[in-house]
Structure 1
Amino acid sequence: MHIPATLVRGGTSKCWLFSQVNVPVERDRLEHLLIGAYGGDDPVQLDGVGGATPTTSKAAVVGVSPQSGVDIDYLFAQVGIGTGTVEWASNCGNCATGVALYAVAKGLVPITGDETRLVLRNTNSGAILEAVVDTAGGVVHEFGERTVPGTRAGGVGVGLTFLAPAGRTTGALLPTGLAAQELPIAGTPTPHGLPVTPWVTLADAGAPVVLIDAVRAGLTGTESRDEIRSLVPWLRSVRHAAAPLMGLADPGAPLGDAVPKVGLVGPAAPYTSTLGERIEPADHDVAVRMLSMNSPHPAIGLTSAVAVAAAGLLKGSVVADAAANADGGATLRIGTPAGVVPVRCTEATPDGPGRVTVQRAARILCDAEIFVPRAQLPRAAA
């Protein structure tokens, strides 16, 4: 069988987008379809359209929303690499950027002049986002000049705002009620001498995250991707210890690697980005290194960036302590491996920021028909 799909680049991710009218509604049938289309059983995804990295093995199902005040619904899927599974537990801000451009380009929302504003709902988490797509001249552009850290390629400008993002998954910005705490993890320290009780902030805004105080762990937060790769077993242990405390997993239940997101946070320090640019302490407020599933993220997921920025508003949090020398403004400049990502929090309340905004870029790469092996589909879909 073959399925129409559109490949988009949103920020630093690539995502295949499927119209909801062209794919099964049933989650198990949709999962089988995506595994077959992406070659999800294969660790290099050679016999499919997956990119064999967490940031290029993503999908979303898009449609007009039935909810009043919302224009577009999208269901996000993180297709496993060599696992034959799909993670449905999270959202992806980079893919949401692509969804916004796609919705305008496909006529799902009308163009309204030089900028087109639309409201998106992520049906995985219930998150509501506002997007502003550059439609200068009242048209959709195939190319643009807006760039983001992690690529020198330009794209169409898309401003993405997460509306009241705190607690969308767990019910609170701080699921344990603490701005920071010790987190006992199973096992013993690794050969790196890493702690079994790291100092962390457990937060939920954009996505649930566990943010580790890098300095207290004997690290910096400016580690290279190879250095982060060597820390993956320990970081996974931290993630798995945090999940039950955040209400994301029952004690003793199998633990996934989608949520909470996990990463290191350290004070601003000099480093060289993956594009060869020198990043000085004056250029950023905090240094952050996150995982994407079980791989070092090449930059930072937007949902993680939202959580980092929201946590930065909380006195005593790992982020606030690391950013002690920042100017205290509404914008937190996050130093990522790819460069600096500014995130702006406004309309702050005791429950968290009302709006968290990032400026991104997107580009539609192609429209295609994906041929899916029938043998990899459930009988009802064959």
Structure 2
Amino acid sequence: MTQTAIPYVFMRGGTSRGPYFLRSDLPQDLDKLAEVLIAAIGAGHPLNIDGIGGGAAVTTKVAMLSPSDDEWADIDYFFAQVSVEERLVDFKPTCGNILSGVGPAAIEMGLIRTQGEETKVRIRAVNTGAQVEAKVQTPGGQLTYDGGSQIAGVPGHAAPIQLSFMGVVGSSTGAFLPTGNLRDSIQGIEVTCMDVAMPLVIARAADFGLSGYESAEELDGNEEFFDRMEKLRIEAGLAMGMGDVSKSVTPKFGLLAPAKDGGTIAVRYFMPWKTHPTMAVTGAQCLASCALTPGTVADGLLNRPNSCPAEIVLEHASGTIDVLIDFSNNESFVLNSAGLVRTARKLADGYIYVPKEVWDGS
């Protein structure tokens, strides 16, 4: 054969989708791994025509699973963000939406046995070290994708997957506030640089002359805004101790505005070179934490809840996402855990084929 066959499960996880592999079925060397994933996804073409990517950043994501040697975790989840139009792979970030499918995928792959009506899967996000407990519906010991939960950005209903995130503060930079400040002025814009599940640079939409209620399409068409945002993001990345981030998808970027549809606060999230059509699970945790923290750029945009845990409803480009934050706020804001409900569905399984000249399977 002139191609190498690699077993996979193709899953929608939250509002993203992509192939889920056993880590042991792929090259251990990261440079060779990147070549294999670029070939599998078809990166380097706007339609990913020579691979299984969907021509958007939310459909060129990859999960790689293995049994964990961590005392707490059952499964190690290694994430890769494959570029759409460039032949690039970023192993730095994680993805909470793709993580939504890790529990079901681990059961599908035989890595986890079901435990009755509901199966708990403890997941270590290898990229960041975060700990996440996923509760997967397994009535009668059988994995099911059928249920009554609905999430914005996905049609229909499906079985709920409850995610509880722990150990997410400073997961990429080592600090809740990587610059040491609640606010910084960068490129003439006041921002909060925060690292909760995903490092973010967060600003007020009004400071860019935006309402914060623009559609993803409207924002993607605003080249002047993206140019300003990217210059700011690159400078902020240096200030956050992340080095040159011009070729990295982290830190991500977020905008805040007052809620207008009954939520807690309105947000827009960037991946970072396109507007996210909905909301990333990791980004939602960071934006919700920013909203809860006094002294950040969220001041004056919301009425902060005093109860704990606090339910933060983020209004995003396609609807809302609820984040349940368990925190303490004595001398400073301390996040204990963040909970969200997502859904997932198995779409296909079998083999992905890559040319032997890319990898011969050894």
TM-score, reference length from structure 1: 0.88
| Partner SS state of residue 155, structure 1 | coil
Residue aligning to 1:91:
94
Distance 2:235 2:340 in 1: 30
| Partner SS state of residue 216, structure 1 | helix
Segment drifting more, 216-225 vs 161-170: 216-225
Segment drifting more, 157-166 vs 345-354: 345-354
| Partner SS state of residue 359, structure 1 | strand
Pairwise CA RMSD: 1.7
Residue 140 of structure 1 and its aligned partner are, at CA, apart by 0.3
AA partner of residue 267 (structure 1): P
1:90-169 matches, cutoff 5 A: 90-169=93-172
Distance 2:59 2:279 in 1: 14
Match of residue 241, structure 1, among 235, 245, 259: 235
| Partner SS state of residue 126, structure 1 | coil
Structure 2 unaligned blocks of 5 or more: none
Q: Does 1:334 align with 2:325?
A: no
User: How has the CA–CA distance of structure 1 residues 288 and 134 changed in structure 2, closer, same or farther, with 3 Å as cutoff?
Assistant: same
Q: Which deviations, in whole Å up to 9, do the C-alpha atoms of 1:138-196 show, x marking residues without a partner?
A: 21014333210112222221111110311111111111222122112xxxxxxxxxxxx
Distance 2:69 2:293 in 1: 36
Q: Does 1:206 align with 2:209?
A: no
TM-score, reference length from structure 2: 0.93
1:167-186 matches, cutoff 5 A: 167-184=170-187
Distance 1:320 1:56 in 2: 34
AA partner of residue 340 (structure 1): T
Distance 2:256 2:245 in 1: 27
| Partner SS state of residue 255, structure 1 | coil
Q: Does 1:308 align with 2:274?
A: no
Q: Does 1:365 align with 2:347?
A: yes
Distance 1:153 1:41 in 2: 32
1:56-71 matches, cutoff 5 A: 56-71=59-74
Residue 213 of structure 1 and its aligned partner are, at CA, apart by 1.1
AA partner of residue 326 (structure 2): T
Residue aligning to 2:41:
38
User: How has the CA–CA distance of structure 1 residues 321 and 180 changed in structure 2, closer, same or farther, with 3 Å as cutoff?
Assistant: farther
Q: Which deviations, in whole Å up to 9, do the C-alpha atoms of 1:233-254 show, x marking residues without a partner?
A: 22222211210011111xxx46
Match of residue 19, structure 1, among 13, 18, 22: 22
User: How has the CA–CA distance of structure 1 residues 4 and 381 changed in structure 2, closer, same or farther, with 3 Å as cutoff?
Assistant: closer
How many pairs align? Answer: 352
Structure 1 unaligned blocks of 5 or more: 185-196, 270-279
Give the share of equivalent positions with the same residue, in percent: 32
Distance 2:245 2:251 in 1: 14
Segment drifting more, 333-342 vs 37-46: 37-46
Residue aligning to 1:216:
207
Residue 351 of structure 1 and its aligned partner are, at CA, apart by 5.8
